[in-house]
Amino acid sequence: MDLILFLSLSLCWCMAAARSLWTDKPWIIVSSAEIEDGETVEVTCTLPIDYRGGDCRLFRDNSPVPFRLKTATGYLCVFYLTSQELLGRQPVGSQIFLKCDYHIQQYTSVSSDVKGVTVWGSSPSPGLSVSRRFVSPDDSVEVTCSPPLNFVHSCHFYRDEIHIADGSCRRNLTGKQLSIWEKSTILLPVNMTCTYHPYEHRYVRSEPSNHNLLFVVDASRASSSVDCKVSVEDDQLAAFGRSSWTNVGADGPTVTVQVTNSVLMPNETCSNIQ
């Protein structure tokens, strides 16, 4: 093949390959996919070329009209949006979808991909109450989350910040549910809280409820009868009512729990363990 022809064909192929790889589509990057109401999110529109003098345009949801413009000074256009600027007329608890493009004179690029940002809202704390303070693994305790609203979509229950149940705001939870993912032990302190979601299709959750201290007592873990002493803070002592509680295992061993007041958080000691 003639050398000049070969070089010409090679140059054409390289130019075609470059055109197939280059795109005028910008990228959109958000600093966080979720923010709380009152926070700010950083949105970056990344341009494929040095586009100084043109406008970066930021769009919200399906609107054909940009709600933010920024003159490009390089390859990046950075927007800082408060939660209220992001939401516009949408209520707190909404998910907002963003995209961007760039425009100069008569030319407008294709739009970027779409990125979603959720603006979480919060509601006042509910109250949490429990029907009993000691429960064996197979028994259940009634837990009630009481929101300060007439109706809520769902309630969520937590053990030491671990989500263990949701749905109805009043439900029965077994000792096994309360101790899930915990190492088996004779006496397990469980610190419970709850939250609620007031709306089905909005991202709004309440502040956490008050804490409620329970104990899962598993007599099957004892090879002989044992006595356990539990110390709780003074302000928790009244909630326990009786100062002692006994659980009988299937094979005869018993676990007797005695509650005393202390400045320490839940601290259990058991004697006669074999």
The answer to whether 204 and 122 are in contact (CB under 8 A) is yes
Contact criterion met (CB below 8 Å) for 119 and 35: yes
- Domains in the chain (CATH in brackets) are 23-121 (2.60.40.10), 124-271 (2.60.40.10)
pLDDT at 7 over 90: no
- Interval 163-192 mean pLDDT: 91
Percent of the chain with pLDDT over 90: 51
Under a CB-based contact definition with an 8 Å cutoff, are residues 21 and 13 in contact? no
Helix or strand run (H / E) with residue 230: strand 226-232
Give, as one character, the DSSP assignment of residue 188. E
Radius of gyration of the chain (CA): 31
- Bridge partners (DSSP) of residue 56 are 70, 102
Q: What is the pLDDT of residues 74-129, one digit of tens each?
A: 888 999 999 999 999 999 999 999 999 988 888 888 999 999 999 999 999 999 99
Looking at the DSSP assignment, which residues form a beta bridge with residue 55? Answer: 71, 103
Q: Which residues contact 61 (CB under 8 A, 6 or more apart)?
A: 96, 97
pTM for the full predicted model: 0.74
Residue 221's pLDDT is what?
Answer: 83
Q: Pick the more confident residue, 195 or 235.
A: 195
